């Protein structure tokens, strides 16, 4: 029999990488030669990938909005009438070192009355009162890690038990609603992302399946000539790589277009919450993550489809 190792190992190793480069370029050329079908595939992948990326951006911006709203969350502690200013201030000092407390502010009962007169618009009625009925108030600003409804409620009940406190108040319903909305958004986004990634996998695997079937005769000949499955698979895997890469880039472009398009509407939403919002775009890390995900998903789909379909083709 003819010698099995007619080509040296070094030569084989060198040519292995040369062939990789050639096959990568050839598969790019193949996409170029069929522009319409290639563009369609890339466009579909780009649109599918742009959705999760856009959702992630939307989530990031919504989270920033809710964070800024929540950062205004505070607990008002209405002290007992008997508590003096000195006692209240001493307790305010104690409170500052409590876990979950970012800042405290003492509101004197006279200051409270002034504020009430200004806000309520019935100053003349309040001025008829002989005594100030309002207690001293300590306003507790929640630390950022205690902004969630659960933790805020925990802190509220803890503070409400203090002997000087007559009543403790926090708009928990608002916080709970906000948390629920955010959770619903992230759950829906996650579900949508899974669906869209599945769509990408199906599109790429079907594109490659058709590509493989159209080259069935060529694959049969290559197998007859002694080509290994890996050798035959490689150009198709590179096709998947190029589709993933260009699809990822297209998704990034689409995402930024969407951001630009929605900027006005989102800034109006921010104003409705009394916030001056500038929209956050994708950071370099997020762009990198998008590209890695696009390439990862497309390579995985390609590998699965190519391996399965090439195995089915055998010389007859």
Which residues make up the interface to other proteins (CB under 8 A)?
1-2, 4, 6-7, 11-12, 14-16, 18-19, 217-218, 220-228, 231, 314-316
Closest distance to other proteins from the beta carbon of 316 (Å): 7
Closest distance to other proteins from the beta carbon of 5 (Å): 10
Q: Which is nearer to other proteins, 15 or 190 (CB)?
A: 15
Q: Which is nearer to other proteins, 2 or 284 (CB)?
A: 2
Q: Which is nearer to other proteins, 14 or 169 (CB)?
A: 14
Closest distance to other proteins from the beta carbon of 34 (Å): 12
Q: Which is nearer to other proteins, 31 or 75 (CB)?
A: 31
CA distance 125 to 127: 5
Closest distance to other proteins from the beta carbon of 226 (Å): 3
> Positive or negative, the Cα torsion across 191, 192, 193, 194?
positive
Q: Which is nearer to other proteins, 35 or 274 (CB)?
A: 35
Closest distance to other proteins from the beta carbon of 44 (Å): 26
Closest distance to other proteins from the beta carbon of 46 (Å): 29
Q: Which is nearer to other proteins, 4 or 272 (CB)?
A: 4
Q: Which is nearer to other proteins, 209 or 223 (CB)?
A: 223
The 10 Å Cβ neighbour count of residue 276 is 8
Closest distance to other proteins from the beta carbon of 213 (Å): 16
């Amino acid at each position: 029999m003819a010698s099995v190792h007619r080509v040296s190992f070094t030569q084989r190793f060198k040519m292995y990488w040369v062939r990789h480069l050639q096959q990568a370029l050839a598969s790019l050329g193949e996409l170029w030669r069929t522009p319409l079908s290639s563009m369609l595939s890339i466009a579909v992948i780009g649109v599918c990938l742009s959705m999760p990326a856009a959702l992630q951006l939307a989530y990031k911006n919504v989270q920033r909005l809710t964070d800024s709203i929540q950062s205004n969350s505070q607990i008002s502690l209405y002290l007992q009438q008997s508590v003096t200013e000195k006692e209240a201030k001493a307790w305010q000092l104690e409170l500052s070192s409590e876990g979950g407390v970012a800042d405290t502010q003492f509101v004197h009962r006279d200051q409270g009355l002034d504020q009430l007169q200004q806000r309520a618009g019935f100053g003349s009625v309040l001025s008829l009162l002989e005594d100030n009925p309002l207690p001293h108030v300590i306003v507790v600003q929640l630390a950022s890690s205690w902004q969630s409804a659960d933790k805020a409620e925990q802190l509220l009940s803890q503070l409400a038990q203090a002997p000087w406190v007559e009543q403790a108040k926090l708009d928990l319903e608002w916080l709970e609603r906000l948390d629920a909305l955010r959770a619903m958004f992230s759950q829906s986004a996650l579900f949508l992302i899974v669906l869209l990634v599945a769509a990408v996998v199906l599109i790429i695997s079907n594109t490659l399946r058709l590509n493989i079937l159209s080259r069935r005769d060529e694959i049969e000949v290559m197998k007859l000539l002694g080509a290994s499955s890996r050798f035959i698979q490689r150009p198709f895997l590179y096709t998947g790589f190029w589709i993933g890469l260009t699809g990822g880039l297209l998704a990034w472009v689409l995402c930024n277009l969407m951001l630009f398009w929605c900027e006005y509407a989102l800034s109006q939403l921010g104003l409705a919450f009394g916030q001056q919002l500038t929209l956050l775009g994708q950071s370099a890390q997020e762009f990198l993550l998008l590209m890695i995900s696009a390439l990862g998903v497309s390579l995985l789909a390609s590998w699965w489809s190519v391996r399965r379909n090439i195995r089915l083709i055998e010389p007859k």
